[in-house]
Amino acid sequence: MTNAHTYLTALRWGEDQLQETTADPAAAQYLLLESHGWSFTQLVQHYREPMPNAEWVTYQQRISRIVAGEPAQYILGQAPFYGQGFRVTPATLIPRQETEELVAWILNDVVAVSQHVLDVGTGSGAIAVTLKAQRPEWVVTATDISAEAVAVARENAAAQHAEVIFAVGDLFTPVARQRFDVIVSNPPYIDRSETAVMDDSVKRFEPDQALFAADHGLAFYRRFATELAQRLTPTGQFFAEIGYQQGAAVRAIFETALPTATVTIRQDINGQDRMVRVQL
């Protein structure tokens, strides 16, 4: 059964609904592209086709949820990352472009064929699964304190046929007495004082324990700094995402704890401090 709407008029309706709110009107197009697996060019090719009635009803419901503040990725249950689709739920953060840049840095910087890699706080598994998919010869382990997040990460690994070792627990607890050539993390790094300037949908829908950290958002970097010497191999490297205002503070934490290490702060595509590498 069809209705009077084509894909183009449905899109325009969705954009009009979102224009009246604080939501990004681009979410109207995002819903159509992701639900069909279309590129923008493919959407244009379908513009004049009638949208099936059942799809129109679903589209209206999804637009209403976005109007209410829910992220489109949670509505669809998936988010793109490094060219692949990853399942996401409210137990996991929505993967973002900055994290793709962190993964690219690792892939470009670590050239050794044999590497034991640990992803701490894996969430949806985006980092761990992508590294394993891109470097099948690496042995990749991923941990998270949330059993619900690890369950989602396992699904993503299975969907991409990536053999990642998963474990539930806080920081290094699940991998006691093991050492790794590369440790990577996108830890919680937001200070509670920043809540007022955060996007409302992030505050309402994304998991608190994956967002906020004590000590002005620096608590996890301090914990890593005290343990890296025991967790990395002698020439190992640590990579992490950081808050855009934390570059100087994070550098000081690692240089103080590991005086002989080389600490590099890297900017993202927008010129903001976003990543750190610590080389023993």
- pLDDT tens readout for residues 23-53: 888 999 999 999 998 999 999 999 999 999 9
- DSSP letter assigned to residue 92: S
- 149 pLDDT more than 80: yes
Q: What mean pLDDT is predicted for residues 171-177? A: 91
Q: Which residues contact 181 (CB under 8 A, 6 or more apart)?
A: 110, 112, 115, 116, 117, 232, 233, 235, 236, 237
Listed by start position, the domains of the chain span 2-69, 89-279
Instruction: Tally Cβ neighbours within 10 Å of residue 30.
Output: 18
* C-alpha distances out from residue 254 to 18, 81, 213, Å: 44, 29, 17
The response to whether 264 counts as a known ligand-binding position is: no
The response to whether 14 counts as a known ligand-binding position is: no
Closest CA to 127 of 102, 90, 159: 102
Q: Exposed (0-12), middle (13-18) or buried (19+): which is 213, by Cβ within 10 Å?
A: buried
The response to whether 80 counts as a known ligand-binding position is: no
Amino acid at 93: L
Helix residue spans in the chain (DSSP H): 7-19, 26-36, 40-46, 53-67, 72-76, 97-109, 126-134, 147-159, 200-205, 219-231, 247-257
- Tell me how far apart the 2 most distant CA atoms of the chain are, in Å: 69
CA–CA distance, 221 with 187 (Å, rounded to integer): 8
pLDDT band at 69 (very low <50, low <70, confident <90, very high): confident
Closest CA to 72 of 35, 21, 122, 19: 35
The response to whether 144 counts as a known ligand-binding position is: yes
The response to whether 122 counts as a known ligand-binding position is: yes
Q: What mean pLDDT is predicted for residues 64-75? A: 91
pLDDT band at 194 (very low <50, low <70, confident <90, very high): low
Q: Are 106 and 239 in contact (CB under 8 A)?
A: yes
- 252 pLDDT more than 50: yes
- Fold designation for 89-279: Rossmann fold (3.40.50)
Helix axes 126-134, 147-159, angle to 10 degrees: 30
The response to whether 124 counts as a known ligand-binding position is: yes
**What percent of the chain stands above pLDDT 90?**
70
Q: Which residues contact 66 (CB under 8 A, 6 or more apart)?
A: 18, 21, 23, 27, 28, 31, 72, 75
89-93, 98-102, 227-231, 252-256: which has the minimum mean pLDDT? 89-93
The response to whether 24 counts as a known ligand-binding position is: no
Torsion of CA 115, 103, 124, 235, to 10 degrees: 30
CA–CA distance, 150 with 160 (Å, rounded to integer): 15
